[in-house]
């Protein structure tokens, strides 16, 4: 039995320890906001937070989160940061197809958390370079992160 905290609530799973966290979240725990993109940690669609740091859930075995705090897009959505990001995403018209957006927002939340000063567009683009958007809305995403940071100030 693997126990961890998911979006602030204790959970347990009897999944095999090598099962990717992504599939435990989506199939076993019915949290489908985290998306499967590439399966090799290159696109960022599956990004979640583990103990506050962004991580690719497609390559993270569920055994690695035993005793950890895991936050998905569903958990982020309930936070002040998540609400600011969602409002900024809409205002800047960042989502197109929307597939990468949960991973983008999870990474953006980590960027905002680590920011020590107001972020520039270029800084946001550099810090989020590991998240792929096939629709190419990088400029809107960067604008949304800058907008969210201002809203949270």
Residues 12 and 39 in one domain: yes
Torsion of CA 113, 117, 118, 119, to 10 degrees: -70
Residues in Cβ contact with 145 at an 8 Å cutoff, skipping those fewer than 6 apart: 85, 88, 108, 111, 112, 119, 124, 128
* pLDDT given at position 105: 98
Q: Which mean pLDDT values do the consecutive 10-residue runs of the chain (153 residues) have? A: 98 98 98 97 97 98 98 97 97 93 97 95 96 95 98 95
Residues 93 and 63 in one domain: no
Domain count, the chain: 2
Using a 10 angstrom Cβ sphere, with 0-12 exposed, 13-18 middle and 19 or more buried, the burial of residue 93 is exposed
User: Which domain, by its residues, includes 84?
Assistant: 79-152
State how far the Cα of 26 lies from the Cα of 33, in Å rounded to an integer.
8
* pLDDT given at position 132: 96
């Amino acid at each position: 039995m693997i126990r961890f905290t998911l979006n602030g609530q204790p959970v347990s799973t009897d999944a095999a320890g090598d099962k990717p966290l992504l599939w435990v979240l989506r199939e076993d725990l019915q949290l489908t906001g985290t998306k499967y993109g590439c399966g090799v940690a290159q696109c960022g669609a599956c990004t979640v937070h583990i103990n506050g740091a962004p991580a690719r859930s497609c390559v993270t075995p569920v055994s690695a989160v035993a005793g950890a705090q895991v936050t998905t897009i569903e958990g982020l959505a309930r936070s002040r940061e998540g609400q600011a990001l969602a409002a900024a995403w809409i205002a800047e018209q960042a989502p197109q197809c929307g597939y990468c957006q949960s991973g983008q927002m999870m990474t953006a939340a980590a960027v905002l958390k680590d920011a020590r000063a107001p972020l520039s567009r270029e800084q946001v683009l550099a810090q989020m370079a590991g998240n792929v958007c096939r629709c190419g809305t990088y400029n809107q995403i960067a604008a949304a992160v800058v907008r969210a940071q201002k809203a949270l100030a």
